[in-house]
Amino acid sequence: MRTSARLFATYAVASLVPIGVLGAVMLHGTTEDAARWGQDQGRAQAAVIAEMAVAPALDEADLSRGLTTEQRFRLQRATDLAIYNDSVLRLRVRGFNGQVVFSDDGSTAGGVSINDPAFRSASAGHTEVTLLAAPETPGGQVIRVLQPIVASASGEAQGVLELYLPYAQIAARLHEQTTVTYWRLGLGLGALYLVLGLISWSTTRSLRRYAQRQAHEALHDALTGLPNRAAFHERAREAVAQDGEPGAVVLVDLDRFKEVNDTLGHHAGDELLAVVADRLRSGLRPADTLARLGGDEFALILPRSDAAAVRGLLDELSADLAREVVLDGVPVSVEASFGVALYPEHGHEVEELLRRADAAMYHGKRGSSDIVVYAGENMAHPTQWLVVQAELRHALTRDELVLHYQPKVDLRSGEIVAVEALVRWQHPQRGLLPPSEFLPAVEQSGLIEPLTAWVLRRALADQAMWTATGRSWAVSVNVSARNLEKPGFTDFVSGLLAEHGTAPHRLLLEVTETALAADARCAAQAVIDLTARGIGISVDDFGTGYTSMSQLRGLPIAEVKIDRTFVRDVLDAPPSQAIVRAVIALAHGLGSRVTAEGVESPEVAGWLAQAGCDEAQGYLYSRPVPWREVGTYEITGAAQ
Amino acid sequence: MKRALLAVALVAVTAGCAAPGATGTTATGDAGIAVDQTLHASLPDAIRARGTIRFMTDASYAPMEQFAADGRTIIGFSPDLASAIGSVLGVRAEMVQGDFHTALDDMAAGEYDGVLSSMNDTPERRRKADFVDYFSAGTAIIVQRGNPKGVTGFRALCGLVVATERGTVQADLLKRSQRACGDNPMTIKLYKTNADALVELRTGRAGAVLNDFPPAAYLATDTRTKAYYQLASTTQYEPGLFGIAFAKGDPALRDAVQAAFDRLVRTGVYTELLQRWGISDGAIASGTAYTDS
């Protein structure tokens, strides 16, 4: 505001300069014009006097010889009245040699010197007009005109006419004209200045508004009107800087936003973001800050709150968000992951807090809880993923990966019927790493395809070897949703089977429920194609994901694997028992085999066998080991 | 015309001497014209001693001779020719304003060395002077623009006021034509200068003016005058030769000038000067000297 006032003042002063210069130039011009006009008046008068009074009287005269009596008489007759009336103040007729041949008062003395430049100029045919000071005359000035006398039509100059004309009347007229001109000039320039002033006022006002809008846009997100990342950082810095005030920085990420965007369009995605922004905003306290960092990522600053208060608030927000939203007539339920970093507990720097909130949030995305408070460095940090990805790329080329196999045992016969291939990373520094250490990073990158390809190749190669040694185990390989979505995956797998001369039914691809849900249409088509070629599909971690019954109905599933969380307490918890029984019934009803994961005791194995479960997998039988070691483990409690 | 004025502006001006009539101009040596020492030696002693030849002219006959805008410098074809002749002869040529009708007498009286003023070389004048011819032209009738009196030829002049310069072949021609008018005579008015005669026509006091053809054509075409004057017809009456008049009994100067003129014709200077003033129609082949002794 003050800047724009100063800008306006600067404009006003700056425009005064050209106005002033313009005024000065025009005044100067006017004055010069007036002087020239006055001289022109004198020149015109003198021309008339010379041609109409003096020249006719001097016809046939030779001024070098003086005038005849008659010529003198004619000249006096012609000029007497003008001289008497002061229309001409003084008149001299002079030869080129300076001699005064005739004068108004009869004297032959006086007159301009022949060496005067004006006289010389008049002798050379020019008319010279000069304004002279004459204190004794009214007005104080006279016009002196020196011009050649051309008395005949032939154009021959005979002498010089020296005329003095009154200036008072011309001066009065001039004064009148210049006064009018000054007024006009003054008013015109004033009006011009006023217009310039208005323009600069209006311009500065527009600029101010524009600047305000720019400032707002620089700190706010256009879609939701929320503060943007820059504004969030600013506010977070302020909040964190308040000593002794505990609070939280929270990152919020929508879980199914991409799906909405892809299936319902960007318009629906934008609408969803607006709805989410509204719900988050309405759930916050006045001191809290909500910002949109970009995409489907929001952030909160919750000042003056301890961990419990934060948890309570986020629970409410989460519940509020979970309410169904109708977008373009389609009901959508949105869930969000909240990553929480508390300050000062988890850091004093905004960047650090954000990093930790981020880590917590990704942790939550991989787990079952949607609100995760940062819990120390063991939370794999997404930024490490880049390192992991880079290393893994090398690992693939340097063959640092190995496959371990965990047997699946037929609960009726107690025989090993299949093995599940599980990838291990022989990391040069960190030793043998389980999949949980690097698969999340791989899922987020393009590496999943080469990794899956590598695993498939190796598993099929290993299978060929154990087949050669008389083992008839089928092999299960885990594939990601990304693999299924990739066009040509089915052909790729068929190709590998042909390459190794393996019958399709000896390969089982394990897919998580979540993978099936992510892009239902794509994945379902891939499942159908694979099954059509005889390759079995297994639904992994059944019961923890999002598979809907309608999806299962249309898919030819070969195997359903009951998640270990249900199996673990199946002996003690009636709900788990109910679930496991139901899953077994469901799978059998769909024509699928049922495999229980995480079987660690003979009692569980027994219960499962009784419940009708087909196969089991777990530490009871074997940990994942190199295939050569699979058979050496004693199978205990398999058969009753 | 503009180019001519420019050429004149380069010409030095003599000023302030109290000669009879008006003071005139002197053209300096034209660049590139070589002095002929033989001709210079043949000049009369007085002229060689003085270093100038004084030509009388009546500067009211554009484009042949006229006053410049300053009212004092005489410009035109004649001054340029005089200057070129002076250059060949190694002397300065000076043009002096004088009365046309007394020119030959004044020259005989020794006021000038010659007369160079678009003067026709006629048998009558040859009794008074010798001539070196330099131009050929006839007489034209000038009337007011629009020709209000309907003048088409000499017959139509009968009954009108006709003005011309005193002492010219045109004055003589008018007097001779008067006989044909019978009882409807022209009123012939003669003036000291051609300009005075033109003033009469301009103001309607005269119905026609007789001029030599070149100045008449100039009047009818020059932007400053063509609004007031036109030619009654394109006919040139009684074509004759213009000559530079010299006093009788002084063949040395006459012959030197004639030789100088011939040299100018041969070297193309003459043609260039005619072109410069737009009067190439009046060119003659050589400057025959005529004397009527």
DSSP A20-81: HHHHHHHHHHHHHHHHHHHHHHHHHHHHHHIIIIIHHHTTT--GGG---HHHHHHHHHHHHH
Q: Is the pLDDT of residue A303 over 70?
A: yes
Q: What's the whole-number mean pLDDT along residues A145-149?
A: 93
Band (A572; pLDDT cuts 50, 70, 90): confident
Q: Is the pLDDT of residue A275 over 80?
A: yes
Answer whether the bond into residue B239 is a cis peptide, omega within 30°: no
Report d(CA A512, CA A320) in Å as an integer: 28
Looking at chain A, which residues constitute the CATH 3.20.20.450 domain(s)?
A: 405-426+446-630
Q: What's the whole-number mean pLDDT along residues B22-31?
A: 44
Total domains present in chain B: 2
Report d(CA A431, CA A509) in Å as an integer: 28
Write out chain A residues lying below 8 Å of B22, CB-based: 156, 158
Judged by CB atoms closer than 8 Å, whether chains meet at B195 and A157 is answered as no
For residues B109 and B158, membership in a common domain is answered with no
Q: What is the mean pLDDT of chain A?
A: 85
Band (A621; pLDDT cuts 50, 70, 90): confident
Band (A139; pLDDT cuts 50, 70, 90): confident
Tokens of B130: 């010798």
Q: Is the pLDDT of residue B85 over 90?
A: yes
Residue type, A2: R
Residue type, B115: V
Tokens of A495: 């190709």
Considering all CA atoms of chain A, what is the largest pairwise distance in Å, rounded to the nearest integer? 172
Judged by CB atoms closer than 8 Å, whether chains meet at B16 and A126 is answered as no
Band (A264; pLDDT cuts 50, 70, 90): confident
For residues B11 and B44, membership in a common domain is answered with yes
For residues B49 and B85, membership in a common domain is answered with yes
Under CATH, what is the fold of the domain A229-379? Alpha-Beta Plaits (3.30.70)
Band (B8; pLDDT cuts 50, 70, 90): very low
* Span B124-142, pLDDT tens digits: 999 999 999 999 999 999 9
pLDDT, residue B54, reads: 95
For residues B22 and B155, membership in a common domain is answered with no
pLDDT, residue B95, reads: 95
| Candidates A60, A64, A156; nearest CB to B71 | A156
Looking at chain A, which residues constitute the CATH 3.30.450.20 domain(s)?
A: 2-173
Chain B interface disruption, residue of A154, A160, A161, most B CBs within 10 A: A154
Band (A637; pLDDT cuts 50, 70, 90): very low
Report d(CA A170, CA A137) in Å as an integer: 14
CA B67-B69-B75 angle, to 5 degrees, is: 35
For residues B222 and B154, membership in a common domain is answered with yes
For residues B66 and B174, membership in a common domain is answered with no
Query: Which residues on neighbouring strands pair with residue B93, listed in sequence order?
Result: B27, B53
For residues B126 and B248, membership in a common domain is answered with yes
pLDDT, residue B20, reads: 37
CATH assignment at residue B224: 3.40.190.10
Per the document, the length of chain B is: 293
Judged by CB atoms closer than 8 Å, whether chains meet at A124 and B70 is answered as yes
pLDDT, residue A168, reads: 87
pLDDT, residue B16, reads: 34
pLDDT, residue A521, reads: 67
Residue type, B155: R
Q: Is the pLDDT of residue A478 over 80?
A: yes
Number of helices followed by number of strands (H, E) in chain B: 11, 14
Write out chain B residues lying below 8 Å of A158, CB-based: 22, 71
Looking at chain A, which residues constitute the CATH 3.30.70.270 domain(s)?
A: 229-379
**B 237-276 residues inside an 8 A Cβ radius of A:** none
Q: Is the pLDDT of residue B98 over 60?
A: yes
Answer whether the bond into residue B63 is a cis peptide, omega within 30°: yes
Residue A621 forms contact with B (CB below 8 Å): no
Residue partners of B86: CB distance under 8 A and separation at least 6:
B27, B29, B52, B53, B92, B93
pLDDT, residue A514, reads: 67
Closest-CA residue of chain B to A62:
B21
With residues binned 3-state (H G I as helix, E B as strand, rest as coil), the percentages for chain B, rounded to 5, are: 35, 25, 40
Among residues A135, A168, A158, which one has the least CA distance to residue A66? A158
| Candidates B16, B67, B192; nearest CB to A155 | B67
Q: Which CATH superfamily is domain A405-426+446-630 in?
A: EAL domain (3.20.20.450)
**B 196-215 residues inside an 8 A Cβ radius of A:** 196, 198-199
Judged by CB atoms closer than 8 Å, whether chains meet at A156 and B22 is answered as yes
More confident residue, A185 or A362: A185
Q: A302, exposed or middle or buried, with CB in 10 Å at 0-12, 13-18, 19+?
A: buried
For residues B46 and B190, membership in a common domain is answered with no
CA A11-A14-A15 angle, to 5 degrees, is: 85
Q: What's the whole-number mean pLDDT along residues B195-224?
A: 92
Among residues A493, A506, A427, A492, which one has the least CA distance to residue A462? A506
**How close is the nearest chain A Cα to the Cα of B100, in Å?**
13
| Candidates B15, B16, B60; nearest CB to A154 | B60
For residues B212, B215, B217, B218, the Cα torsion angle rounded to the nearest 10 degrees is 180
Write out chain A residues lying below 8 Å of B12, CB-based: none
Write out chain B residues lying below 8 Å of A60, CB-based: 192
Pairs from A364-371 (Cβ < 8 Å, separation ≥ 24): A364/A337, A364/A338, A364/A339, A365/A253, A365/A255, A365/A337, A366/A440, A368/A544, A370/A255, A370/A318, A370/A335, A370/A336, A370/A337, A370/A338, A371/A311, A371/A314, A371/A315, A371/A318, A371/A337, A371/A338, A371/A340
For residues B11 and B107, membership in a common domain is answered with yes
| Candidates A64, A148, A153; nearest CB to B196 | A153
- Give percent above pLDDT 90 in chain B: 75
* Span A581-591, pLDDT tens digits: 998 998 898 88
Residue A62 forms contact with B (CB below 8 Å): yes
Band (A573; pLDDT cuts 50, 70, 90): confident
More confident residue, A19 or A1: A19
Write out chain A residues lying below 8 Å of B21, CB-based: 62
For residues B228 and B275, membership in a common domain is answered with no
Band (A122; pLDDT cuts 50, 70, 90): very high
Residue A429 forms contact with B (CB below 8 Å): no
Residue B118 forms contact with A (CB below 8 Å): no
- Give percent above pLDDT 70 in chain B: 87
Among residues B293, B276, B284, B291, which one has the least CA distance to residue B5? B276
**How close is the nearest chain B Cα to the Cα of A59, in Å?**
11
Judged by CB atoms closer than 8 Å, whether chains meet at B66 and A150 is answered as no
For residues B120 and B247, membership in a common domain is answered with yes
Domain boundary, last residue among B238, B255, B282: B238
Residue A148 forms contact with B (CB below 8 Å): yes
Judged by CB atoms closer than 8 Å, whether chains meet at B72 and A62 is answered as no
Judged by CB atoms closer than 8 Å, whether chains meet at A153 and B193 is answered as yes
pLDDT, residue A322, reads: 84
Domain carrying residue B98: 2-136+240-290
Judged by CB atoms closer than 8 Å, whether chains meet at A97 and B192 is answered as no
pLDDT, residue A515, reads: 67
Q: What's the whole-number mean pLDDT along residues A25-36?
A: 88
Q: Is the pLDDT of residue A368 over 80?
A: no
Q: What is the CATH number of domain A2-173?
A: 3.30.450.20
Residue B67 forms contact with A (CB below 8 Å): yes
- Counting Cα atoms < 13 Å in the Cβ hemisphere of B93 gives 28
Judged by CB atoms closer than 8 Å, whether chains meet at A125 and B194 is answered as no
* Span A518-570, pLDDT tens digits: 556 677 788 888 888 889 999 888 877 666 666 677 788 899 998 888 898 88
Residue A153 forms contact with B (CB below 8 Å): yes
What DSSP assignment string belongs to A448-496? HHHHHHHHHHHHHHHHHHHHHTT---EEEEE--HHHHHSTTHHHHHHHH
Write out chain A residues lying below 8 Å of B68, CB-based: 125
More confident residue, A8 or B194: B194
- Counting Cα atoms < 13 Å in the Cβ hemisphere of A292 gives 22
Tokens of A365: 């995305």
Judged by CB atoms closer than 8 Å, whether chains meet at B72 and A157 is answered as yes
Residue A51 forms contact with B (CB below 8 Å): no
Residue B139 forms contact with A (CB below 8 Å): no
DSSP-derived secondary structure letter, B284: -
Pairs from A373-380 (Cβ < 8 Å, separation ≥ 24): A373/A307, A373/A310, A373/A311, A373/A340, A373/A341, A373/A342, A374/A339, A374/A340, A374/A341, A374/A342, A374/A346, A380/A437, A380/A440, A380/A441
Residue A640 forms contact with B (CB below 8 Å): no
Of A211-220, A463-472, B27-36, B199-208, where does mean pLDDT reach its minimum? Answer: B27-36
For residues B233 and B213, membership in a common domain is answered with yes
Of A303-307, A358-362, A613-617, where does mean pLDDT reach its minimum? Answer: A358-362
pLDDT, residue A188, reads: 92
Judged by CB atoms closer than 8 Å, whether chains meet at A157 and B67 is answered as yes
How many interchain CB pairs under 8 A, A with B? 58
Of A144-158, A290-304, A549-563, B230-244, where does mean pLDDT reach its minimum? Answer: A549-563
Band (A65; pLDDT cuts 50, 70, 90): confident
Would you say A165 and A46 are in contact if contact means Cβ atoms under 8 Å apart?
A: yes
Alpha carbon separation from A68 to A274, B22, B291 (Å, rounded): 115, 17, 40
The phi, psi pair for A157, rounded to 5°, reads -85, 140
